[in-house]
Amino acid sequence: MGFTNMASKQNVLGIGKTESGEGPNIEEYNQIDPCILECFPKTRFPVDLYHWREEIQTLTPVYRAGREVDRRLRTTVMGLSEQGVLFFTRNQIKDYTACVACNLNAALDDPNLTWDEKAGVFIGELGRRQDAFFSHPMAQELDDLDKALASLCVYLVEDSRRMNKVVHDVHCCLAPERRRINASLLALAVYMEMHRGDITLERLETVALGFFLYDIGMTRVSPMMIARPQQLTPSEQRTMREHPKMGLEILSRLNLTRPEISEPTIQHHERLNGSGYPNKLAGDRIGHFGRIAAVADSYCAMVTDKPARKGLAPIAAAAELVTNDRQYDQAVCRTLVRFLQTVPSSL
């Protein structure tokens, strides 16, 4: 395989043959930063690695993906990375991307990833850390989620149009297992849209945490009860209606008492006309964050596929919300609709 001259510090174009022997086949090779290399598993790297040898303008293979890595090879590879001469082929970007998620700050600065690929990395990793916290709501899991949210907020504050990409990804997957993170991201999108030009990074991080934890009380409800398609018995309904209070208890135990964080949890099932639960709050007694969480949660419940039926189309779900001014804050609903109109294929 031959290679062209280095196109830039980060990229090399390689010219070789296709696997069938018909060529030429042009591949792009990207430089690997030492921060990213640290994210790779210690014993087996996920991608083939190449050494760019400036003196002969050639990439030479140094590692084949999947082979065991000993200490000597690891030291060699790290040295090449520090010199800026370690590369991988972009044909293996999926395997590469799967590993960089462990360091979201490094992923954010990684010139090898497009903004679309970065959004995918964020959603995947945030979902994983959100699930970890919901399975085990302790300080370490909270810290992991908080760090990922801090990186997400930097990503979004740098350019608010990136939220469109995130919400587009929400609508690409409406499976039940994505409902939790989809509702969290959508609530955050609506908040950012309503407060354009008026957002500090510190405040956004706190607000984001509130929206990512709002349904934590559901972890205290039996999964069998949640999954059952039949209607709940009166006693089960009472248990279900307690989950916001149970969520608040979990947050209090972790000293998460700021209204930006507690309000979505305790108020996301309250409705403006007092028909909601657990406290039958009405009107102004429901706060801004509770109202946003209520709309995002209801919208995602409507569009998510259920075991017995497919979810509503986004336009049908949005129409239900904007015609229900007795229950939902219409400023929030209109913002959601306006936001969805900017997202390709959502409405």
Give residues in contact with Fe ion (CB under 5 A). 215
Please, what is the minimum distance in Å from the beta carbon of residue 214 to Fe ion? 7
Query: Whose CA is closest to 332, among 318, 344, 316, 342?
Result: 318
Nearer to Fe ion, 215 or 263 (CB): 215
Whole-number minimum distance, CB 218 to Fe ion, in Å?
6
Min dist. Cβ of residue 114 to Fe ion (A): 35
Helix and strand numbers (H, E) in the chain are 16, 6
State the nearest-atom distance from the C-beta of 269 to Fe ion, in Å.
Answer: 6
- Minimum CB distance to Fe ion smaller for 14 or for 290: 290
Residue 321 in contact with residue 296, Cβ under 8 Å? Answer: no
Q: Rounded distance, CA 180 to CA 212, Å?
A: 8
The radius of gyration of the chain from alpha carbons, rounded to an integer in Å, stands at 24
How many whole angstroms separate alpha carbon 29 and alpha carbon 32? 10
Instruction: Compute the least distance from the CB of residue 295 to Fe ion, in Å.
Output: 13
Nearer to Fe ion, 56 or 224 (CB): 224
Using CB positions, name the residue nearest to Fe ion: 215
Q: Which of 76, 84, 103, 69 is nearest to 30 (CA)?
A: 84
On whether the CB atoms of residues 181 and 200 are closer than 8 A, the answer is no
Give the residue carrying structure tokens 């998460």: 256
Give the nearer residue to Fe ion in terms of CB position, either 101 or 248: 248
In the complex with Fe ion, the residue whose CB is nearer, 48 or 215, is 215
| Whole-angstrom distance, CA of residue 39 vs CA of residue 109 | 14
* Residue 29 or 134 with smaller CB distance to Fe ion: 134
Q: Rounded to whole angstroms, how far apart are CA atoms 347 and 343?
A: 8
| Residue 216 beta carbon to Fe ion: minimum distance, rounded to whole angstroms | 9
| Closest to Fe ion by CB, 205 or 215 | 215
Of 14, 68, 9, nearest to 41 (Cα)? 68
Written as one letter, the residue type at 3 is F
Nearest distance, CB of residue 26 and Fe ion, angstroms: 51
Q: State the Cα–Cα distance between residues 302 and 328, nearest whole angstrom.
A: 14
Tokens coding 34: 């030492």
Residue 53: phi, psi to the nearest 5?
Answer: -105, 100
